[in-house]
C-alpha cells in the first residue's frame, strides 16, 4: 500500500489520478491533496477517500470555512501549504499542478526521498538540472506521466541499446490544418478545440502553439539524457502512437494505444512495475490507418527555444516558461493575439542574460522578473 499526496486534484490529470486510485483501493491510499479555485470538489474527494488527513487550498480566505466544516482534517493554503502536505506519512506525490508552482514541491518531495509521479512538465523545463541533482544525491524517484515520456520510458526499458533517436509524436493541436498566415485571426475559443485530447486550458493552448512539444523535448532531455539533436518530432494525427524509439539498424519500437491519460498515470503509480506492451516495426509506413507528417520548424518556430534551453541551460528555461505562462493567460483573456504568444517569448528570450547553475531561489527570482517584464510588454504593446 502506497500513501499518496495529490497536488492539483481538481484539474484534468488530478481527476484522472483519482479515477486510478479508486480502481486500486488496496494499493493506494489518498492522504493529502490540493485544489485551486474549484473548492466545490473537496466534498466528493473526501467522501471517496476517507483516509484524507490534510488539504491545501490556493486561497487563504477559504481556509476558515473549510476547517470548521471538516474539523478532523488539517487545512493549509498557498505555495507553502503545498509543501506541508508532503510529510512523513507520504510515500508518493503525484504532481498534477500546472506551471512554475510545481517546481518547488517536486524538489521538496525528492529531497525528502519520496517517489514523484510527474505530470507537471514545467518543473523540468525550468528546473531540470536541479531535479536531476537531487535525484543523484538522494533516494527519491521520478516517474513521468506525460504520455510521450511514458511511451519512451517503456520502449527504453525493453531496449535502450544502439538508440539513434527518440521520436515524440505531436497531434499538431487545434490549428494543425492552418497555414501560418491563417493564424493571425484565430481566437482562444478556436485554440481550445484540441483534436484528440481533453486537457486543461493552458496545455491545450500550448499544443496549438507547439510550446508543449518544445517543453516535452526539454522534459525528454532531462529524463533520458539525450542531446537536442537526438530528440525528434513526428506529426501524427490520431495520437495513438504515443512516441517511439528508432535504433541504429533502422528498427522502431513504439507504444500504441487509444489516447487515455489514465494509462500513463496508472503505470507511473506502479513505478513502471506492471506488465506493458510495446510494438516493433520496420517503418511507420506499416501503419496504413494512421497519418504521419514531417515536422517543419518554419511552421512552428518556438521549437528553437527548446534547443537553446537544452544547450545553454541556466535560467533560460525559467524565462521560456514564465513568458509563455503570462502570454497564454493574456491570450485566453483576449488581451493579445495567438501569434503574440511567440513574439513575447522571443523578445524575452533574446533580452535575457543567462545565469549558469542557478539554485531554486535564483530561478524563482527570474520567474518573477520575467513575469513583470511580460506584463510590461503586454501593457505597452512592445512586442
- State how beta strands 279-281 and 252-256 pair: antiparallel
CB 219 within 8 A of CB 125: yes
Comparison of 146 and 367: residue with beta carbon closer to ligand NAD: 146
Question: What is the sign, positive or negative, of the torsion defined by CA atoms of 224, 229, 233, 234?
Answer: negative
Comparison of 153 and 383: residue with beta carbon closer to ligand NAD: 153
Q: Taking CB under 6 A as the rule, does residue 98 contact ligand NAD?
A: yes
Q: Taking CB under 5 A as the rule, does residue 122 contact Mg ion?
A: no
Among ligand NAD, Mg ion, none, partner that 326 touches (CB below 5 to 8 angstroms by kind): none
Which of 8-16, 188-196, 267-275, 320-328 is the region at the interface with ligand NAD (rule: CB under 6 A)? 8-16
Comparison of 114 and 121: residue with beta carbon closer to Mg ion: 121
Give CA–CA dist 260/199, Å, rounded: 11
Which of 19-27, 117-125, 284-292, 364-372 is the region at the interface with ligand NAD (rule: CB under 6 A)? 117-125
CB 97 within 8 A of CB 124: no
Give CA–CA dist 143/150, Å, rounded: 8
Residue of the chain from 104, 146, 266, 325 that contacts ligand NAD (CB under 6 A): 146
Find where cell 494525427 sits. 237
Residues 6+ apart with CB under 8 A from 4: 21, 28, 29, 30, 31, 32, 90, 91, 92, 93, 94, 269
Residue of the chain from 70, 197, 287, 290 that contacts ligand NAD (CB under 6 A): 197
Residue of the chain from 146, 255, 325, 367 that contacts Mg ion (CB under 5 A): 146
Comparison of 328 and 378: residue with beta carbon closer to Mg ion: 328
Comparison of 121 and 154: residue with beta carbon closer to ligand NAD: 121
Footprint (CB under 6 A) of ligand NAD, residues 26-55: 34-36
Give CA–CA dist 95/97, Å, rounded: 6
Comparison of 203 and 252: residue with beta carbon closer to ligand NAD: 203
End-to-end CA distance of the chain: 52
Among ligand NAD, Mg ion, none, partner that 119 touches (CB below 5 to 8 angstroms by kind): ligand NAD
What is the pattern of x (binds Mg ion, CB under 5 A) and - over residues 72-111? ----------------------------------------
Among ligand NAD, Mg ion, none, partner that 12 touches (CB below 5 to 8 angstroms by kind): ligand NAD
Tell me the site size for ligand NAD, rule CB under 6 A: 26
Q: Minimum CB separation from ligand NAD for residue 209, in Å? A: 13
Q: Minimum CB separation from ligand NAD for residue 242, in Å? A: 11
Residue count of the chain: 383
Q: Name 52's bridge partners.
A: none
Residue of the chain from 96, 268, 336, 345 that contacts ligand NAD (CB under 6 A): 96
Which of 4-12, 220-228, 265-273, 323-331 is the region at the interface with ligand NAD (rule: CB under 6 A)? 4-12
| CB-count burial class (<10 Å; 0-12, 13-18, 19+) for 346 | middle
DSSP 288-353: TTS-EEE--TTTSTTHHHHHHHHHH-TTHHHHHHHHHHHHHHHHHTTSS-HHHHHHHHHHHHHH--
373 alpha carbon, distance to own chain's centre: 24
Comparison of 120 and 147: residue with beta carbon closer to Mg ion: 147
Give CA–CA dist 287/19, Å, rounded: 32
Residue of the chain from 4, 5, 6, 14 that contacts ligand NAD (CB under 6 A): 14
Q: Minimum CB separation from ligand NAD for residue 326, in Å? A: 13
Find where cell 479555485 sits. 37
Find where cell 501569434 sits. 339
Residues 6+ apart with CB under 8 A from 268: 94, 117, 118, 143, 144, 145, 150
What is the pattern of x (binds ligand NAD, CB under 6 A) and - over residues 55-94? ---x------------------------------------
Residues forming contacts to ligand NAD in the complex (CB under 6 A) are 8, 10-14, 34-36, 58, 96-99, 101, 119-122, 146, 197, 199-200, 202-203, 261
Residues forming contacts to Mg ion in the complex (CB under 5 A) are 146-148
Amino acid at each position: 500500500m502506497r500513501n499518496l499526496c495529490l497536488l492539483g486534484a481538481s484539474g484534468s490529470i488530478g481527476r484522472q489520478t483519482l479515477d486510478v486510485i479508486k480502481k486500486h483501493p488496496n494499493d493506494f491510499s489518498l492522504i493529502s491533496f490540493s485544489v485551486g479555485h474549484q473548492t466545490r470538489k473537496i466534498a466528493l474527494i473526501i467522501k471517496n477517500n476517507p483516509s484524507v488527513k490534510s488539504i491545501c487550498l490556493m486561497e487563504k480566505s477559504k481556509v476558515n470555512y473549510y476547517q470548521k466544516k471538516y474539523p478532523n482534517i488539517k487545512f493549509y493554503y498557498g505555495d507553502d501549504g503545498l509543501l506541508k502536505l508532503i510529510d512523513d506519512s507520504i510515500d508518493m506525490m503525484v504532481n498534477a499542478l500546472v506551471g512554475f508552482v510545481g517546481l518547488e514541491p517536486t524538489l521538496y518531495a525528492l529531497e525528502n526521498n519520496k517517489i514523484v509521479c510527474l505530470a507537471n512538465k514545467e518543473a523540468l523545463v525550468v528546473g531540470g538540472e536541479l531535479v536531476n541533482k537531487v535525484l543523484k544525491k538522494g533516494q527519491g524517484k521520478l516517474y513521468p506521466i506525460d504520455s510521450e515520456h511514458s511511451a519512451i520510458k517503456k520502449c527504453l526499458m525493453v531496449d535502450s541499446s544502439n538508440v539513434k533517436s527518440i521520436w515524440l509524436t505531436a497531434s499538431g493541436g487545434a490549428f494543425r490544418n492552418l497555414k501560418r498566415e491563417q493564424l493571425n485571426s484565430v481566437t482562444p475559443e478556436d485554440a481550445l478545440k484540441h483534436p484528440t485530447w481533453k486537457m486543461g486550458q493552458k496545455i491545450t493552448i500550448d499544443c496549438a502553439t507547439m510550446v508543449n512539444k518544445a517543453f516535452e523535448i526539454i522534459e525528454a532531455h532531462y529524463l533520458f539524457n539525450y542531446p537536442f539533436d537526438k530528440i525528434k518530432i513526428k506529426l501524427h494525427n490520431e495520437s495513438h502512437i504515443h512516441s517511439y524509439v528508432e535504433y541504429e539498424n533502422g528498427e522502431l519500437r513504439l507504444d500504441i494505444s487509444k489516447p487515455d491519460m489514465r494509462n500513463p498515470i496508472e503505470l507511473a503509480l506502479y513505478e513502471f512495475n506492471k506488465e506493458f506492451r510495446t510494438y516493433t516495426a520496420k517503418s511507420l509506413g506499416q501503419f496504413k490507418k494512421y497519418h504521419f507528417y514531417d515536422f517543419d520548424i518554419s511552421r512552428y518556430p518556438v521549437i528553437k527555444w527548446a534547443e537553446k534551453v537544452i544547450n545553454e541551460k541556466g535560467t533560460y528555461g525559467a524565462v521560456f516558461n514564465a513568458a509563455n505562462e503570462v502570454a497564454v493567460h493574456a491570450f485566453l483573456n483576449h488581451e493579445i493575439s495567438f501569434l503574440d504568444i511567440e513574439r513575447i517569448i522571443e523578445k524575452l528570450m533574446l533580452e535575457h542574460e543567462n545565469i549558469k547553475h542557478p539554485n531554486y531561489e535564483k530561478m524563482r527570482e527570474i520567474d518573477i522578473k520575467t513575469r513583470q517584464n511580460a506584463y510590461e510588454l503586454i501593457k505597452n504593446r512592445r512586442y
